[in-house]
Every structure is written in C-alpha cells, then in structure tokens.
Structure 1
C-alpha cells in the first residue's frame, strides 16, 4: 500500500460511526433581500447599467436588427464582429442583406494567432448574445463559446450585447440556479464598460476592455 493509500484509508477509518452535519446554508439570506416583481427587473437593470456609463435600449424581437444598424451608422462604424452561426448573428446578417447594407460583418473563424493584429487594431465593435441578466447589480452574464470566444467581448472598443428581458433574474443566486449543468468553465459578469482610476482618482474608460457598452434589451414576453 502506497503512502497516499495509507493516508486515505486512515481518514476513512476515522469517519466510521460518524454522521455528517446538516448543511446550514439558508438560501433566503442571499436571495430574499434582493427580490423584485417581474416588472421591476428591466427598470432596475437599466438604471444601474446606465449609471455606470452603459447604454441600454429597450426594443423588441422584430425591431432590434434595425436599431442595431442605426446605432452603428450613428457612430460611423462600418465593421462589426459577429457570430454567424448563432441565431442573433444570422438574424442581423439577414437584415443587412435585405437592406443592402455596406456594413462589413466579420467572423471569429480563425485561431487568434492568425488575426491578432487585425482584431486588436481594426475591429471597432463586436456583437454578442448573453446568458442572463442580474437585476440586483445591473449585470450581464456572458458565456464564451467556440462561436463567441471570450475576446469578442473584451477586445473591440465597443461591445454590443443582446439580452432578453425574460432572462433577467432578481439576483446572482437565482441566476446560478439556471446556469447550464455542468457548470461552464468560464462566465463573464459585465456591469459596464471597462474603467479604472489612477492614483489621483482620475477615472478612465477602456483601459482593460471595451470603452463603451451597449445593451439591446428585448422586451418580448
């Protein structure tokens, strides 16, 4: 018997005849103080995100592609990084084709080593979906995937995220109950654009991620 096996056997033997303690966790301690009626979730998330320099636009499923195109036009953005294999990526691509738009849609379809310079220097904006929203903190939950790698929401100066109102939860605890199982290896919690302050307390945006964040909040039931 190896040293490891002897240690484990000793531990198991020491537990013989004992009973595990009951789990003292009380979900109400982290859940009850942060509950809202469904009508308040959208309002609270919008207020909190707007307060930290984010843009939140209320829209509907039939209208958001046009709104997205208008926002890009207003900012004179002619290149957008999207995920063409996703439902929202396909919907926006179809809208651009119908409108005969000059907007160039880019895809994250290569290893980062093959287009790192282009991604960091020549991609002004990205468009991704979201997994959920959290009303208590005004937060987006983004799950990176092969279709929408993590760098899509971190590198371009402008990140545009699509969020369904039906996917807004009261608090982090409730959102966790709805997360995919097994637990994803990587989730991003985004409450606003990247910001930092130096020793003189001068706030600067875009230091470690997107300078601007736009949320398209789809209100369809």
Structure 2
C-alpha cells in the first residue's frame, strides 16, 4: 500500500470510529438574560488593549477631532457609510480619502494609509468583540490595513454573547462577510512575546455610543 493510501485509510477509519456530531444550532437566551452588559464590553475591550470612549452619539465627532489634533492624525481613509459622511462633514475639515476603487487605490492604502474609520454594525458584550459587516461600500481592508483603526458602535446594536448574535443573523440574513474584532492585531509567535500590529492595526480606538 502506498503511503498516501495508508494515510487516507487511517483518516477514513478514524472518521468511522468517531463520527463528528453536528454542531447544535444556537439558541436564544431567556429574555431576562438578553440585555448586553455594557460594562463587560468596555472591560473586555480594554483588556485586549483597545482604547474605549463611551459617550452620546452626537459627541464622538468633536471628541475624535480633539484626539486627532493631540496625536497629529491628519490623513483618514473611510468607506461610504454614515460615520464617514459625518466625519467628512465635521468642522475640523479632516483630510479624507474615500476607499472605493481597489485597483486604483490598493497600493496607496497598503503603503501610506495611517488611519481607518468605520462603523461596527454590532458587538458581543461578553468578549468585547466588534462586528463589522464589510461590503462594496466599506471594504474589509479598511479595518485590516491601516495601523490605527477607529470604530464607532452603538450600544443598542450590542448582543450579550456570540450565540445571540448568530441567532440574530440567522433570522435576518447573514452578510457576505463579517469581521470580528477583539482588540488590536497581536501575535506571540516569536519567543512567546506579545507584539501588536504584526498583521493588522496596532491601535484600536472604539467609540461606544448611547
């Protein structure tokens, strides 16, 4: 028997001896437990080295303008969502590039885009995870490439846990692509030393809006 055939035989035998059980469908929690814990969301994000600001939704553009001035953030990359429109219309008149043509703009995005701004359509409170629905209006590269990622998320879009979020999407339609963000990019592959920004944003700024 050839080595390839021996390997396939062992795989088939293992599958027959221990068939994989289907993963149970997520069940919504009881109504009493369905409210997301906002404090837990903040704590989990901060534990993952995200910087979190909680405020009324009307206040985030002014706060971000002040933060941008402090940190000398001048060049912004956005998609075509509502937070992009709000930021472009802000009185601070930021320098904004709308990412809308992959072939024409991809080189500049990868080489010199310092900050991305986007809206998260949801979040998972118990793990401090942001849910970003990417698509043609907001390409996923905006949340993966710039070294700083600023995200606006509304408290009323949060789910208490992953199971509840999946129940929601199973009932209302699953987007083509979902990005789950739990803090800045990090890895400990080299000598088990944690490093940030190895393959994605090294800073995550979150505006949690009421």
Contact 1:31 1:171 in 2 (8 A): no
List alignment gaps of at least 5 residues for structure 1. Answer: 1-22
How far, CA to CA, are the matches of 1:185 and 1:177 in structure 2?
16
Structure 2 residue aligned with 1:14? none
**RMSD over equivalenced CA pairs, Å:** 2.3
Taking a change above 3 Å as real, the CA distance of residues 24 and 144 of structure 1, as seen in their structure-2 partners, is closer
How far, CA to CA, are the matches of 1:51 and 1:62 in structure 2?
26
How far, CA to CA, are the matches of 1:168 and 1:183 in structure 2?
16
Structure 2 residue aligned with 1:204? 195
TM-score (norm 2): 0.81
List alignment gaps of at least 5 residues for structure 2. Answer: 1-21
Structure 2 residue aligned with 1:89? 84
Out of 116-125 and 162-171, give the one that drifted further: 116-125
Taking a change above 3 Å as real, the CA distance of residues 44 and 24 of structure 1, as seen in their structure-2 partners, is closer
Candidates 35, 42, 53, aligned match of 2:38: 42
Taking a change above 3 Å as real, the CA distance of residues 147 and 27 of structure 1, as seen in their structure-2 partners, is closer
Structure 1 residue aligned with 2:74? 78
2:37 alignment partner, SS class: helix
Structure of larger gyration radius: 1
Deviations 1:42-76 (A, max 9, x none): 11011011011100100112111111112222211
Q: How does 1:172-183 map to 2 (within 5 A)?
A: 172-179=162-169, 181-183=172-174
Structure 2 residue aligned with 1:148? 138
Please tell me whether residue 213 in structure 1 is matched to residue 204 in structure 2. yes
Candidates 140, 147, 154, aligned match of 1:157: 147
